[in-house]
């Protein structure tokens, strides 16, 4: 649950909040639904009006509620204060460890039944950071999908705050396990160096990427690895270049530079672009261009969750900036 | 932290929330500040933007921040959906046990220093329901104030949901301890029967009150006991009659009937009316009339926290309903 | 699409509108989904951002989009200005005849496929008033459901404005046809007299009902007929008594009197109460009490669409007015 | 300029305000425009964005700007906090004496030119309380209209706060002068007793009215005197009975009882009802019934300014409370 | 009627809309009123609360309602979702063909009476695209104004969506007829080539303009032709250069580059700048500079309708960007 | 009291306002409280709901109310319309001369008592422009603080609109008096030339500064003089360079360029940065960098009043633009 101060006030100035329900899982499932796929969320919500509200909002985003269960006491929340220019946006988490999702007991999800009804499952490194209970669910489900012949997508998404001190060492075995199960992986050279502890003698970011990603793909037998390099410019714009590594070759998108309205969730839009390209059989070049445009558009959308249709993204690949559509 | 759906929508319909910072302690301290006293809150807030926001909002209510400390991870929250007519208002708590207040470690508050700077301290039965840590703070502070010659006010405010099954039995020893320390107590016959397990052969509510309250006052050596009888009418109005028991005599307010805008916190306004009457040396009859009018006005105020000045309350004691003041 | 002036301003005073997507079909489908059934809407939406918005909002209400098709140019709309006390609420329709729904060509809906996937279909007299194209869809679908062994519900819901001058005569053959196909019918004595042209020598409303409804049930072989008598009181409250006629016997609910927040859609909540009672095998007495409470609660909910769960309705049958739930 | 806290918050709770531009003159002119007459306002606005905003809002209400002049420094303002039930609404004036209107120098308005273009002019006792400059404008314009053969309407509208201590004595000569010029006067028995110092041996309000009003009409040669008796009930409703005294006979409306949304400006709606009845040649009985219904409806309208058309008022004379109009 | 999602949400995300009443006619009339002229709108509104709201809003913009008639069933509407950066704004029309304006029957407007009361009439190519009925009204009124010695302004404003396939061919005869009647025309080289089918051997935009516009002026005997060249930059700014062709000479404004808040209606502000310059006898150089500044400022104003006074525009011609005015 | 049109509408377009309570004194006191100091405001508020609201809002900003007195009739107000790009923000003052502050009689403030309880007092040239009564209070308090061993800060802040024609000459003696009492002064070369009438043969802004400021420091025996040079860029950004002159040496901050959300009050944030640096014993270089970053951040904060903590400012000195903090 995202509780956002409207406009640019601080929590100590304002007196109302916009709320929505998001998270990587929500964003990916909803964005893929928008692109024409059937999206589910596998999660646990409290059996109270907050849980009802979450389900209603997820449905609105196009997510089917079939794999949502109810139980536990509350929903993890975060507060968002929008930054402006030199003042960065600020996220304050409320406690998450006791949330319905993070306390879901062992029998909550029927991995086999789920695995039979889906083609692809997506996991995120943020979830991996939660606790052992959650990690067990993740790994068991990944294995079940794999066994059922499905595709496993894993987004490394390492968040230092969640792993705490000595986090990389704690995280490594779990990441290794997930990478072994994954077919499509979202990461870049930093993940390889910091989490997996890999070395390179290159000093430049793009060279490090070219050196390490093929090693990761080989080591863990991963079909597709993809990710982005982002830079934040002085004038309130961001620049983004996406890459895909597949069949031992790299493909890059153009460097896109654009104004930013809401940065949160834009990485998930990139991921969905990659997934959509793979599912539709786009060439790697098409896929990475589509994913980068998908990510760019997500920066212009209110809320965490990408809302662009395939048609919207294809048009954004042609016209960088357009006049009113009428 | 109260997160309220504006208007009459449900959480699953709306997309924004009004927030404020309240609770019995906040309400009592702020209402007394409004009546001309100096009000502090003794509590613990997280050291993050939520804690900053809480402090700013408490200051706005007129509370001095001298006894607020910072630490812990988050603030207890509840969601409020306003009812309308036949549809009751609905409160959904987020978890509270891990809040900054409920996890305040032993050395958090310097009871002696606080006791020396205040004349009166107010405690509430809701806080008593939290956990042992909190109860230790309460009792230690009550003792310190008592030793420093101050007055202890205790509002029984028993909430079944917080004590769980067999709650009355669990609660009784803690209530007994607080009653022994208290000078002014807010309660009615139900508290005597259910929490303290007292018996009466009367069947009518007002007779039970007259039978039991004098026994409580005698048993625990309490100077003033006060409370209300509320009834909810079919036409969206409530009726309230207050009582005070002091010097072995009962005084009653008139039965007030009035339209209700926001019911939460109105009990605290009644409490503050009693406290203010006692501090100002009102006669019991004046005190109970003042407290009842204070409670009535609090039902017409937005938010949990009473906002009426002494002048407002005195006028409401005269005119039940008034035309525009201009 | 309902475009509602917030608060109590007029369209010529305000400058913003709340929008939602409703209509009898939406209300019934969503209310039944809320009661635990699976709800679909059979309709046609424009293939543009308005259609996308409608679908998202319908999903949020719990309706599955399986039978929504896209095409045509726009969505029927109405503007709502909330009344207050002596000033009645005011509805202004934009044109509807050219809407996507009202211009859906012959092959739009595959009646057979739909009929096989549902148990019950609900029709409304408002739709019947639209045009011949729409009426053909209605009748064809009703027949298909009937043939597939399903239940047909028909709510007479005669709106004089839609049928124009001489409307009763124009409407009668279509109503007759629908009544012949229907298993459960929502109506009262006025519909029998005005639309069907039936006579009675009774002068009192309730006696007319008792005289005519059994005749209607017999004539058209209808299992269940139900409806309400509503009266509007001087003090902003409404009174409602529901009836059910089944197995040649009448059952009545108590006369409920309650404050009204949003009256539109409350009739649909009554209908759903009847349907739910029938599906769950409630006794007629239980059914009519449940339906009346469902209708009452719908008057306290923002928007056209009922939002009460079975638990909410059962509780409202016990407590007329309750204190805060916490 | 009315600056109103939205909803029921106090100025010390809220952080935004709705603004509108009103006052007796605005209300009367706009309400008459709504009833099909041509309405002007004779006033002076500052030549700055506030003056522009005022003019735009007055135009929106249907007032023609022909007699608005620009000059001076600011606009008189008041803050309004909405009351609820037992808590009365509260008006706080900002200073008015230095406003553009109250400092309009002698040559500001061309009385003759104005008098030639209008049939009726309306004055209010609030304006009469402002200062000598304003009073001179009022009397000069009244005389000019009189000389040009027009009708002068005067609403006594005595506000104790504006006249200060000993106000009745200060006010009397100015009221006498206005009454001598007036054709239609709004007042009741209290004005006769308190301002004009008239005596009566009756003790009951309605008898005092019947005793004194004919004397006033005779003394000042007034064609029509009209007014209301209002009482405020315990349940948030008001009761209103209007009277008209014309051709030496009294006519009374029924006693109307109704829920109140915004009480300010409702007296002006009654005045306009009387004026409209007179202009249209209604019988006194029709006029007083129309005026009372006009006044009643104005209590249900947001803002000071009445917004009802003749059709709205005529319907309200028939149906006390109606269902949704659709 | 413009229904705009506030902020940057999509229709499928939001739940409220801002509404205003605009269109080229409204914008031009209101902008000229703001510049000190008397502005009317010649149109037809439904006789219902929407029509009332439209009239009130038009009055607020400074437009006199003298030539507004009532009839028909509804008002044309469009929905606007604001774009951000790489995501373009999106306009979704509701149906317009059945609107009150588009179905105004033959005797609706008294061309002669109107022509006698105005000096200038402005027409727009969007209206020309509606239907034959509307086109007849346009041409008849243009002829009447011409005969009465007035000035006819015509803005080509070709919108491909309204004319459909083969639109240029359909449109040409109507454009020719309007150009023959017009004194002042807004267009650029594209209109000459695409609508009028004129040829040029130039390839650069500004050279095409210089080649074709003099031919158009000669062919149709037009006194003044004016227009703009706009380009949209990568950083959310637009650049605009205006031109005027008069007395066989071109004048250009400087190239203005500026941030854009609301692009819709800015072309109308440019048109009004040209008209105002012509009416006031500005030199062509002054006129084009004034018009360009007028257009630039309109991009910074909320809503379609320009709101700048002559003083505002003159200042913007001097200071490109200014600090707070205080 | 600041009354601000939300978003980018004009007063003649909008119908609601955000309000806050600000002014240089408020901004400086609140910003210093935010930086860990104890802040008071010495002022006079009306004894009505506006005064109550002002006090509540000031408390919320962290200001202690100890030196606020009540009396007089109203609060000075200004209206703010936000500019956008080429359209400048616009401030419209309501009258101020009759405000509670500007009419505070002689005995209002007990200078001695105040001077004993504070270490530093800050004055502003805007206040100096009000009237003789106010100026007497300022000078008397400055003298009292000086005598009590405190520090006097004076911000020249000359506003031409307040002093009227021939303002510099009228202002000079008062400025001279304040400079003689001041220890820390905010000004730049323009103040020296225009108010103090000093001459320089330099033509470049920065050289004029280096020539004149040392002379001012010497002439009036001022320990620290500081200020900024601001330039407004074409692309909605501002550039700012701060300077400090202390111990006969100049220190400059880097030239900061940044996007601007709310420019008002940013100068006060710079002032507080200088004051904080001085109080904490920062080096001049640290102080000026801290003050410039403080000023920059204040441009990104909603409202007049700076809200940045020391930690926020220190971080902004390191990272010009940052990604989301989470």
Buried b / exposed e along C276-301 (16+ C-beta atoms within 10 A): bbbbeebebeebbbbbbbbbbbbbbb
C1 is written with which tokens? 């699409």
Q: Does C34 touch chain A if contact means CB atoms closer than 8 Å? A: no
The model's pLDDT over C78-105, given as tens digits with 9 standing for 90+, comes to 999 998 888 888 999 987 888 999 999 9
Residue in this structure with the two tokens 């006969």, named with its chain if needed: F248
CB contact under 8 A, C50 and E11: yes
Helix %, strand %, coil % of chain D (to 5): 40, 20, 40
Whichever domain contains C68, its CATH number is 3.40.1190.30
CB contact under 8 A, E59 and D57: no
CA triple B251-B255-B260, angle to 5 deg: 130
Of the candidates B297, B302, B324, the beta carbon closest to that of D9 is on: B302
Confidence band, pLDDT 50/70/90 cuts, at residue D98? confident
What is the CB neighbour count within 10 angstroms for residue E268?
A: 31
The model's pLDDT over E276-316, given as tens digits with 9 standing for 90+, comes to 999 999 999 999 999 999 999 999 999 889 999 999 999 99
Partners of residue F61 in chain B, C-beta under 8 Å: 56
**Chain E nearest CA to C95, separation (Å):** 7
Question: Would you say residue B36 lies in a domain?
Answer: yes
What is the CB neighbour count within 10 angstroms for residue D116?
A: 13
Confidence band, pLDDT 50/70/90 cuts, at residue E169? very high
CB contact under 8 A, B16 and A17: yes
Query: Do F196 and F272 fall within a single domain?
Result: yes
Q: Does D302 touch chain F if contact means CB atoms closer than 8 Å? A: no
Mean pLDDT of D28-47: 96
Helix (H, G, I), strand (E, B) or coil at A84: strand
> Taking the CA of residue C322 as centre, how many other CA atoms within 13 Å lie in the half-sphere pointing to its CB?
17
The model's pLDDT over A137-150, given as tens digits with 9 standing for 90+, comes to 999 999 999 999 99
Partners of residue B60 in chain F, C-beta under 8 Å: 56-57, 59-60
Partners of residue E88 in chain A, C-beta under 8 Å: 319, 321-325
Q: Which helix (H) or strand (E) holds A125?
A: helix A125-128
Question: From CA F126, how far away is CA F191, in angstroms rounded?
Answer: 13
**Chain D nearest CA to C280, separation (Å):** 33
Confidence band, pLDDT 50/70/90 cuts, at residue E85? confident
Question: Would you say residue B222 lies in a domain?
Answer: no
What is the CB neighbour count within 10 angstroms for residue C218?
A: 10
Mean pLDDT of F41-50: 96
The model's pLDDT over D272-309, given as tens digits with 9 standing for 90+, comes to 999 999 999 999 999 999 999 999 999 999 988 999 99
Question: From CA C295, how far away is CA C274, in angstroms rounded?
Answer: 10
The model's pLDDT over A6-64, given as tens digits with 9 standing for 90+, comes to 999 999 999 999 999 999 999 999 999 999 999 999 999 999 999 999 999 999 999 99
Q: Does D25 touch chain C if contact means CB atoms closer than 8 Å? A: no
Residue B142's pLDDT is what? 97
Question: Would you say residue E40 lies in a domain?
Answer: yes
Residue D79: which residues within 8 A CB-CB, separation 6 or more? D3, D4, D5, D11, D17, D91, D92, D93, D94, F49, F50
Question: Would you say residue D160 lies in a domain?
Answer: no
Tell me which chain E residue has its CA closest to the CA of residue C98. E95
Largest CA distance in chain D: 55
The model's pLDDT over E25-34, given as tens digits with 9 standing for 90+, comes to 999 999 999 9
Res. B35: pLDDT tops 70: yes
Q: Does D202 touch chain E if contact means CB atoms closer than 8 Å? A: no
Question: From CA D274, how far away is CA D280, in angstroms rounded?
Answer: 10
Domain span including residue C61: 1-104
E192: alpha, beta or left? (left if phi > 0; alpha if psi -120 to 50):
alpha
The model's pLDDT over C132-151, given as tens digits with 9 standing for 90+, comes to 999 999 999 999 999 999 99
The model's pLDDT over F196-236, given as tens digits with 9 standing for 90+, comes to 999 999 999 999 999 999 999 999 999 999 999 998 876 67
The number of distinct structural domains making up chain B is 1
> E71: burial class by Cβ within 10 Å (0-12, 13-18, 19+)?
middle
Residue C95's pLDDT is what? 78
Partners of residue A56 in chain C, C-beta under 8 Å: 60-62
Query: Do F174 and F101 fall within a single domain?
Result: no
The model's pLDDT over B245-276, given as tens digits with 9 standing for 90+, comes to 999 999 999 999 888 888 889 999 999 999 99
CB contact under 8 A, A60 and C59: yes
Residue B139's pLDDT is what? 97
Query: Do F101 and F139 fall within a single domain?
Result: no
**Chain C nearest CA to B290, separation (Å):** 24
Residue E210's pLDDT is what? 97
Residue C88's pLDDT is what? 87
Residue D259's pLDDT is what? 85
Percent of chain E at pLDDT > 90 equals 84
Helix (H, G, I), strand (E, B) or coil at C322: coil
- A226 has which bridge partners? A186, A244
Percent of chain E at pLDDT > 70 equals 97
Question: From CA D215, how far away is CA D192, in angstroms rounded?
Answer: 9
The model's pLDDT over F96-132, given as tens digits with 9 standing for 90+, comes to 888 999 999 999 999 999 999 999 999 999 999 999 9
**Chain A nearest CA to E265, separation (Å):** 11
The model's pLDDT over B137-150, given as tens digits with 9 standing for 90+, comes to 999 999 999 999 99
Touching partners of C (3+ C-beta pairs < 8 Å):
A, B, D, E
CB contact under 8 A, E60 and D56: yes
The model's pLDDT over F261-273, given as tens digits with 9 standing for 90+, comes to 888 899 999 999 9
Residue D320's pLDDT is what? 54
Residue A129's pLDDT is what? 94
Tell me which chain E residue has its CA closest to the CA of residue D56. E60
Q: Which helix (H) or strand (E) holds C313?
A: helix C310-318
Question: From CA D312, how far away is CA A192, in angstroms rounded?
Answer: 74
Question: Would you say residue C180 lies in a domain?
Answer: no
Residue E48's pLDDT is what? 94
Query: Among A289-298, C95-104, D22-31, which stretch is predicted with the lowest mean pLDDT?
Result: C95-104
Residues present in chain D in total = 326
Residue F71's pLDDT is what? 94
> D47: burial class by Cβ within 10 Å (0-12, 13-18, 19+)?
middle
Between D and E, how many CB-CB pairs are < 8 A? 14
Question: From CA E253, how far away is CA E285, in angstroms rounded?
Answer: 7
Confidence band, pLDDT 50/70/90 cuts, at residue F85? confident
Mean pLDDT of B319-325: 61
Query: Do F167 and F193 fall within a single domain?
Result: yes
Query: Do F28 and F167 fall within a single domain?
Result: yes
pTM of the model: 0.90
The model's pLDDT over D175-193, given as tens digits with 9 standing for 90+, comes to 999 999 999 999 999 999 9
Of the candidates A60, A302, A324, the beta carbon closest to that of E88 is on: A324
Tell me which chain C residue has its CA closest to the CA of residue E21. C15
Residue C225: which residues within 8 A CB-CB, separation 6 or more? C184, C185, C186, C187, C213, C216, C217, C244, C245, C246
Res. D204: pLDDT tops 60: yes
Residue C237's pLDDT is what? 81
Instruction: With CA atoms as reference, report the closest residue to D300 among D249, D264, D270, D276.
Output: D264
Buried b / exposed e along F44-69 (16+ C-beta atoms within 10 A): bbbebbbbbbbbbbbbbbbbbbebbb
Touching partners of B (3+ C-beta pairs < 8 Å):
A, C, D, F
Partners of residue A60 in chain C, C-beta under 8 Å: 56-57, 59-60
D174 is written with which tokens? 């100015």
β C151-155/C184-186 pair status:
parallel
CB contact under 8 A, D60 and E56: yes
Res. E323: pLDDT tops 80: no
Of the candidates B13, B86, B264, the beta carbon closest to that of C303 is on: B13
Res. D235: pLDDT tops 70: no
Residue E322's pLDDT is what? 57
Question: Would you say residue D76 lies in a domain?
Answer: yes
Residue C121: which residues within 8 A CB-CB, separation 6 or more? C42, C115, C141, C142, C145, C150, C151, C152, C153
Question: Would you say residue D224 lies in a domain?
Answer: no
Query: Do F233 and F266 fall within a single domain?
Result: yes
Residues present in chain F in total = 326
Residue F112: which residues within 8 A CB-CB, separation 6 or more? F144, F148
Residue B10's pLDDT is what? 95
Residue F259's pLDDT is what? 85
Residue A324's pLDDT is what? 67
Residue F95's pLDDT is what? 78
Residue F47's pLDDT is what? 95
Touching partners of D (3+ C-beta pairs < 8 Å):
B, C, E, F
Question: Would you say residue A153 lies in a domain?
Answer: no
Mean pLDDT of D73-91: 90
Between B and C, how many CB-CB pairs are < 8 A? 74
The model's pLDDT over B75-132, given as tens digits with 9 standing for 90+, comes to 999 999 998 888 888 999 887 888 999 999 999 999 999 999 999 999 999 999 999 9
Query: Do F17 and F164 fall within a single domain?
Result: no
- The helices-and-strands tally (H runs, E runs) of chain A is 12, 15
Res. C281: pLDDT tops 70: yes
Residue F142's pLDDT is what? 97
Res. C163: pLDDT tops 60: yes
Of the candidates D235, D303, D316, the beta carbon closest to that of C86 is on: D316
Which of D87, D92, D99, D302 best tests the F interface by mutation, with the highest count of F CBs <10 A?
Answer: D92
What is the CB neighbour count within 10 angstroms for residue B286?
A: 15
The answer to whether F2 and F80 are in contact (CB under 8 A) is yes
Residue E135's pLDDT is what? 96
The model's pLDDT over A147-195, given as tens digits with 9 standing for 90+, comes to 999 999 999 999 988 898 999 999 999 999 999 999 999 999 999 999 9
Residue E276's pLDDT is what? 98
Query: Do F298 and F218 fall within a single domain?
Result: yes
Q: Does C225 touch chain A if contact means CB atoms closer than 8 Å? A: no
The model's pLDDT over C57-72, given as tens digits with 9 standing for 90+, comes to 999 999 999 999 999 9
The radius of gyration of chain C's CA atoms, rounded to the nearest angstrom, is: 19
Res. F291: pLDDT tops 80: yes
Confidence band, pLDDT 50/70/90 cuts, at residue E73? confident
Whichever domain contains D89, its CATH number is 3.40.1190.20
The model's pLDDT over A185-244, given as tens digits with 9 standing for 90+, comes to 999 999 999 999 999 999 999 999 999 999 999 999 999 999 999 988 766 788 999 999
Instruction: With CA atoms as reference, report the closest residue to E174 among E131, E235, E222.
Output: E131
């Amino acid at each position: 649950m995202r509780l956002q101060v409207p406009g640019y006030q601080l929590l100590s100035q304002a007196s109302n909040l916009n709320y929505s329900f998001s998270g990587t899982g929500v964003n990916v499932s909803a964005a893929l639904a928008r692109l024409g796929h059937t999206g589910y969320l596998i999660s646990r919500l409290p059996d109270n009006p907050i849980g009802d509200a979450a389900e209603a909002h997820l449905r609105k985003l196009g997510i089917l509620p079939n794999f949502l269960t109810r139980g536990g006491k509350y929903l993890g929340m975060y507060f968002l204060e929008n930054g402006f220019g030199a003042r960065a946006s600020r996220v304050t988490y409320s406690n998450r460890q006791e949330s319905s999702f993070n306390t879901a007991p062992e029998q909550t999800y029927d991995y086999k039944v789920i695995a039979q009804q889906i083609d692809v499952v997506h996991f995120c490194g943020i979830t991996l950071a939660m606790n052992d209970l959650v990690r067990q669910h993740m790994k068991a489900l990944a294995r079940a999908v794999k066994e059922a012949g499905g595709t496993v997508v894993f987004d490394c998404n390492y968040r230092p705050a969640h792993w705490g001190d000595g986090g990389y060492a704690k995280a490594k075995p779990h990441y290794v396990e997930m990478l072994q199960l994954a077919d499509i992986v979202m990461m870049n050279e930093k993940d390889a160096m910091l989490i997996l502890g890999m070395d390179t003698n290159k000093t430049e970011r793009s060279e490090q990427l070219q050196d390490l990603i093929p090693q990761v793909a080989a080591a863990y037998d991963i079909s597709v690895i993809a990710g982005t390099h982002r830079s934040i410019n002085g004038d309130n714009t961001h620049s983004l270049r996406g890459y895909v590594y597949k069949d031992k070759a790299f493909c890059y998108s153009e460097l896109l530079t654009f104004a930013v309205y809401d940065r949160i969730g834009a990485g998930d839009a990139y991921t969905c672009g990659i997934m959509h390209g793979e599912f539709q059989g786009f060439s790697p070049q098409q896929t990475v261009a589509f994913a980068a445009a998908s990510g760019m558009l997500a920066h212009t959308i209110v809320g965490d969750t990408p809302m662009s249709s395939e048609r919207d993204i294809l048009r954004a690949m042609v016209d960088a900036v357009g006049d009113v559509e009428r």
